[in-house]
C-alpha cells in the first residue's frame, strides 16, 4: 500500500524513513515531533501506522463507569473528585446500587474510585463477583494499580494474591489509571502520597503474568515537560516488550478544575491533544491500540484524532464523574448512534467491541476481512481498496462477524466457510500449506498418546486449527482430550498440559519456545504425514447477496493484488517478519510453504477434512460448547 507524505518540516523526513522501515523511534525523535508545526504530516505518519495495525476499524464499547465511592485516604493535588468521610459531598454505593446502574446490553463495566479507610476486602470482591454473576456477558475492568497497591497494604495480601482473588471473582482486565506521568519530580510535586512508576509497573507486570491484560495511560498538560511525556511512553514500550500485556494506551488531557494546579493554559489545546495522540501511536510501536478518550478530549477533537493515529474512541461511558468534577466540558455520556456517526464521518468502520477488543458488531458496508498474520500479506500488500474498507480480524472472529452479516468478504477459516456455505460464495483463492506450516503449533508437556484426558488450552483465534487438532487426536492417535478456550488477551498457560497457538504468535513461540512446554508439533505436518495432502486453513469467499458488480470488482482487485504481490511483496513481508523476530531467510522460507490458489489437490484436501470432521461429530456436551461457539 503506497502512502506518500509531503513534509513542510524536513526534520520529520528521517523519522518517516524509520517508521516505514519499522525502526524504533528515540527520545530525540519524540521531541522533534512535539516541536514540529507540520501537524498534518505528523498525523499522516501516525495514520499510516494505525492503518497497518487496525486497518479502517475504529473501536467502541457499550460501557458503564462505576465510581463506587469518592471517599479517599489520599489527597492528590490534581484530583477534584475525592473527599473525606463525613463531608456533605461524600458518598458510598452498595453492591445493589451498583448492580442497579447496569443493564444486560452493557459489554464493559469500568470500576474505579476512592480508597476509603474502612471498607473490608470482601466488599470489593463482592462487587466484582456480583456483577459477574448477575451480568455474565458483561466484562469487568476494575481497579487501578493505585487501588491494587492500597488493597495489598491495607489487607496484608501480596499484590499477586490480590489479583488472583479478583480474577477468581470475575475480573477480566485492569484500567491504566494511576500512571499519571512516570516522573519522580512530578510525583513529589503533585501526588507524593501516591505510588510511583516502579510500583505501577510491578502491579501491571504481575497482572500480565497471571493472564490479566491491562491498559495504560498518561496524564498530560499540567506541570510535566515534553521530555517527561516521551520518557513515559518509552518506559511503557519497554514494559510491553517484556510482557505483551497492554491492550491500549490512553493519553488523558489534564482537567484543572479547582485543584489549584495552574498549567500554562487552562485546558490543553486541540493541537497539543492531536500531537500527543499521533506521537503516542508512533512511539508505542508494540501496543495494539491508541484511544481518543472523548470524555477529556471533547467529541470534536476525538473525531479528528481518528485520522491522527487513534483507533478507539472508548464508548458510551455512562456514569463518569471524575473528569467532569475536574471541569471536563464533554457531555456526560454519548449515545451509541452518535458514536457510530462520529466514526463514519471520519471515513472509518464503526466496530463495537468487548473488553479484549474482540469485534462484536460492524456498522458499515463493503467490509473486507483481513487475517492479520504474516501468511496473509500476499493478498493485502498491493490491494487497492476503492469502495472497500479493511478490517483486520482473527479467523474465528471473522466467521462470527460473517454469521451476523458484518463481513462482506474475506479469507474465511475453512470450517467457518463450510458452516456458512449457504450464504458464502467460494472464490478462487486460499491459504493452504504443502507439508508444514510453522504457525499452527501444539506446544505440549506430553506426547500425543499421553494427552488422553489432559487439558489443552485453545487460542481464541482459531476455528479450523482446533478442528484439525481434534481430528488428529481422535482419528490419528485415538486420544480424547479436554479443550478450554483461552481469551484473546495474554493468558496464563501454566495450568494446561498443552496449548494450541496459531498465526504470528505461534511463529514467534515456535522460534523462541514456550516456557514449560518441551514438545512442539506442527499440525500441518502431522496432517501431511497422515493423509499425504496439503491442508487448507482458509478460503476466500464473499456474501452470495453481494451485487454482481461488487463481486466482479473484488475479484479483479484480488487477482491483481495477488499477482503483484507474487512479483514484489517481499519488502512488506520482511518488515512483518522482522516484527515477529524472523530473519529475512526465515521469512522467505515460511512464505514459500504456502499456496494461495485453490486447485485440485486443495479441493481434494477440503473434502477429506470435511469427511473426517463428520466422523468425529459424535461429540460430548463439553465439546459441543467449544465447537458451537
User: In which residue are the cell numbers 494427552 written?
Assistant: 451
Residues 508 and 555 in one domain: no
Q: Is the dihedral of CA 190, 194, 197, 198 positive or negative?
A: positive
Kindly report the length of the chain: 629
Q: Report the C-alpha gap between 91 and 81 in whole angstroms.
A: 11
Of 221, 276, 225, 287, nearest to 251 (Cα)? 276
C-alpha cell at 299: 467529541
C-alpha cell at 464: 479450523
Chain segment 54-64, per-residue pLDDT in tens:
999 999 999 99
C-alpha cell at 471: 481430528
Q: Does a structural domain hold residue 5?
A: no
Per-residue model confidence (pLDDT) at position 617: 79
C-alpha cell at 453: 484426558
CA angle (602, 573, 234) in 5-degree steps: 135
Q: Does a structural domain hold residue 557?
A: yes
Q: Which helix (H) or strand (E) holds 241?
A: helix 226-243
Write down the pTM of the prediction: 0.91
Q: Report the C-alpha gap between 317 and 132 in whole angstroms.
A: 19
Q: Does a structural domain hold residue 623?
A: no
In three-state secondary structure terms, 515 is: coil
Residue 590's CATH number: 3.40.190.10
Residues 331 and 407 in one domain: no
Residues 405 and 345 in one domain: no
Q: Please name the residues in contact with 527: beta carbons below 8 A apart, sequence gap of 6 or more.
A: 468, 472, 533, 535
CA angle (390, 576, 25) in 5-degree steps: 100
Residues 509 and 586 in one domain: no
Residues 410 and 482 in one domain: no
Residues 470 and 570 in one domain: no
Among 494, 511, 531, the domain boundary falls at 531
Among 327, 360, 393, the domain boundary falls at 360
Report the side by side order of strands in the sheet with 171-173.
63-66, 108-111, 139-142, 171-173
Q: Does a structural domain hold residue 65?
A: yes
Q: Report the C-alpha gap between 111 and 133 in whole angstroms.
A: 16
Residue 111 β-bridge partners: 66, 142
Q: Report the C-alpha gap between 204 and 2 in whole angstroms.
A: 38
Q: Report the C-alpha gap between 526 and 510 in whole angstroms.
A: 16
Residues 161 and 241 in one domain: yes
Residues 203 and 96 in one domain: yes
CA distances from 157 to 125, 150, 151, 161, 492 (A): 14, 10, 7, 6, 21
Quickly list DSSP for 28-76.
Answer: HHHHHHHH-S-HHHHHHHHHHHHHHHHTTEEEEE-EEEE--B-B-S---
Q: Calculate helix-pair angle for 121-134, 145-154, nearest 10 degrees.
A: 130
The count of other CB atoms within 10 Å of the CB of residue 614 is 9
Q: Calculate helix-pair angle for 270-283, 27-35, nearest 10 degrees.
A: 160
Q: Does a structural domain hold residue 241?
A: yes
Q: Does a structural domain hold residue 1?
A: no
Residues 44 and 166 in one domain: yes
User: In which residue are the cell numbers 485415538 written?
Assistant: 478
Q: Does a structural domain hold residue 589?
A: yes
- Ranges of residues in the chain whose predicted pLDDT is under 50: 1, 319-332, 620-629
Q: Report the C-alpha gap between 618 and 614 in whole angstroms.
A: 8
Per-residue model confidence (pLDDT) at position 86: 76
Residue 412: domain span: 362-433+535-618
Query: What's the number of domains the chain is made of?
Result: 3
Per-residue model confidence (pLDDT) at position 79: 59
Kindly give the residue spans of alpha helices, DSSP state H, lying in 523-569: 523-531, 548-568
Q: Does a structural domain hold residue 258?
A: yes
430 torsion bin: left (phi>0), alpha (psi -120 to 50), beta (else) = beta
Residues 343 and 379 in one domain: no
C-alpha cell at 451: 494427552
Q: Is the dihedral of CA 525, 527, 533, 539 positive or negative?
A: negative
In three-state secondary structure terms, 495 is: coil
Q: Is the dihedral of CA 142, 147, 148, 151 positive or negative?
A: negative
Residues 344 and 369 in one domain: no
User: In which residue are the cell numbers 529475512 written?
Assistant: 584
Cα 322 to the chain's mean position, in Å?
A: 26
Per-residue model confidence (pLDDT) at position 78: 53
Residues 473 and 426 in one domain: no
Among 325, 360, 395, the domain boundary falls at 360
Per-residue model confidence (pLDDT) at position 589: 93
Amino acid at each position: 500500500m503506497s502512502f506518500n507524505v509531503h513534509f513542510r518540516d524536513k526534520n520529520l523526513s528521517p523519522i518517516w524513513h524509520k517508521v516505514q522501515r519499522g525502526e524504533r523511534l528515540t527520545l530525540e525523535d519524540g521531541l522533534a515531533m512535539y516541536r514540529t508545526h507540520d501537524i498534518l504530516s505528523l498525523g499522516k505518519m501516525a495514520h499510516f501506522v494505525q492503518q497497518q495495525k487496525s486497518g479502517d476499524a475504529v473501536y467502541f464499547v457499550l460501557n458503564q463507569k462505576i465510581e463506587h465511592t469518592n471517599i479517599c485516604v489520599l489527597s492528590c493535588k490534581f484530583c477534584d473528585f475525592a473527599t473525606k468521610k463525613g463531608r456533605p459531598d461524600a458518598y458510598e454505593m452498595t453492591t445493589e446500587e451498583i448492580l442497579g446502574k447496569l443493564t444486560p446490553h452493557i459489554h464493559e463495566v469500568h470500576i474505579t474510585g476512592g480508597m476509603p479507610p474502612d471498607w473490608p476486602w470482601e466488599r470489593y470482591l463482592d462487587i466484582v463477583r456480583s456483577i459477574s454473576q448477575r451480568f455474565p456477558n458483561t466484562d469487568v475492568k476494575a481497579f487501578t494499580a493505585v487501588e491494587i497497591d492500597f488493597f495489598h497494604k491495607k489487607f496484608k495480601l501480596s499484590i499477586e494474591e490480590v489479583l488472583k482473588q479478583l480474577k477468581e471473582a470475575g475480573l477480566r482486565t485492569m484500567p491504566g489509571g494511576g500512571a499519571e506521568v512516570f516522573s519522580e519530580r512530578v510525583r513529589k510535586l503533585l501526588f507524593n502520597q501516591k505510588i510511583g512508576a516502579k510500583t505501577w509497573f510491578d502491579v501491571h507486570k504481575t497482572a500480565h503474568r497471571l493472564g490479566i491484560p491491562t491498559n495504560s495511560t498518561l496524564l498530560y498538560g499540567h506541570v510535566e515537560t515534553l521530555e517527561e511525556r516521551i520518557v513515559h511512553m518509552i518506559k511503557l514500550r519497554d514494559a510491553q516488550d517484556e510482557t505483551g500485556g497492554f491492550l491500549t494506551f490512553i493519553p488523558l488531557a489534564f482537567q484543572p478544575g479547582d485543584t489549584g494546579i495552574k498549567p500554562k493554559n487552562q485546558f490543553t489545546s486541540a493541537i497539543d491533544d492531536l500531537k500527543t495522540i499521533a506521537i503516542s501511536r508512533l512511539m508505542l510501536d508494540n501496543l495494539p491500540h491508541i484511544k481518543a478518550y472523548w470524555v477529556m478530549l471533547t467529541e470534536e477533537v476525538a473525531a479528528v484524532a481518528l485520522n491522527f493515529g487513534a483507533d478507539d474512541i472508548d464508548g458510551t461511558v455512562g456514569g463518569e464523574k471524575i473528569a467532569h468534577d475536574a471541569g471536563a466540558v464533554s457531555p456526560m455520556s454519548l449515545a451509541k448512534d452518535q458514536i457510530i456517526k462520529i466514526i463514519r464521518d471520519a471515513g472509518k468502520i464503526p466496530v463495537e467491541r468487548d473488553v479484549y477488543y474482540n469485534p462484536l458488531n460492524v456498522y458499515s458496508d463493503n467490509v473486507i476481512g483481513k487475517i492479520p498474520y504474516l501468511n496473509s500479506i500476499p493478498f493485502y500488500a498491493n490491494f487497492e481498496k476503492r469502495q472497500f474498507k479493511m478490517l483486520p480480524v482473527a479467523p474465528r472472529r471473522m466467521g462470527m462477524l460473517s454469521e451476523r452479516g458484518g463481513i462482506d468478504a474475506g479469507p474465511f477459516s475453512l470450517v467457518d466457510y463450510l458452516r456458512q456455505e449457504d450464504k458464502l460464495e467460494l472464490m478462487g483463492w486460499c491459504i493452504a500449506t504443502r507439508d508444514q506450516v510453522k504457525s499452527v503449533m501444539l506446544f505440549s508437556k506430553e506426547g500425543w498418546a499421553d494427552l488422553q484426558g489432559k487439558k489443552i488450552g485453545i487460542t481464541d483465534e482459531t476455528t479450523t486449527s482446533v478442528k484439525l487438532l481434534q481430528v488428529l487426536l481422535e482419528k490419528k492417535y485415538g486420544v480424547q482430550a479436554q479443550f478450554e478456550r483461552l481469551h484473546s488477551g495474554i493468558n496464563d498457560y501454566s495450568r494446561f498440559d498443552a496449548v494450541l497457538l496459531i498465526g504470528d504468535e505461534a511463529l514467534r513461540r515456535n522460534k523462541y519456545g514456550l516456557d514449560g512446554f518441551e514438545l512442539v508439533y506442527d499440525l500441518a505436518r502431522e496432517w501431511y504425514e497422515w493423509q499425504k495432502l496439503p491442508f487448507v486453513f482458509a478460503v476466500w469467499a464473499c456474501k452470495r447477496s453481494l451485487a454482481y458488480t461488487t463481486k466482479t470488482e473484488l475479484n479483479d482487485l484480488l487477482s491483481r493484488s495477488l499477482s503483484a504481490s507474487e512479483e514484489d511483496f517481499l519488502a512488506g513481508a520482511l518488515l512483518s517478519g522482522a516484527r515477529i523476530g524472523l530473519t529475512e531467510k526465515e521469512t522467505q522460507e515460511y512464505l514459500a510453504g504456502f499456496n494461495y490458489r485453490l486447485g485440485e489437490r486443495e479441493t481434494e484436501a477440503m473434502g477429506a477434512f470435511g469427511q473426517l470432521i463428520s466422523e468425529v461429530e459424535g461429540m460430548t456436551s463439553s465439546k459441543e460448547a467449544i465447537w458451537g461457539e
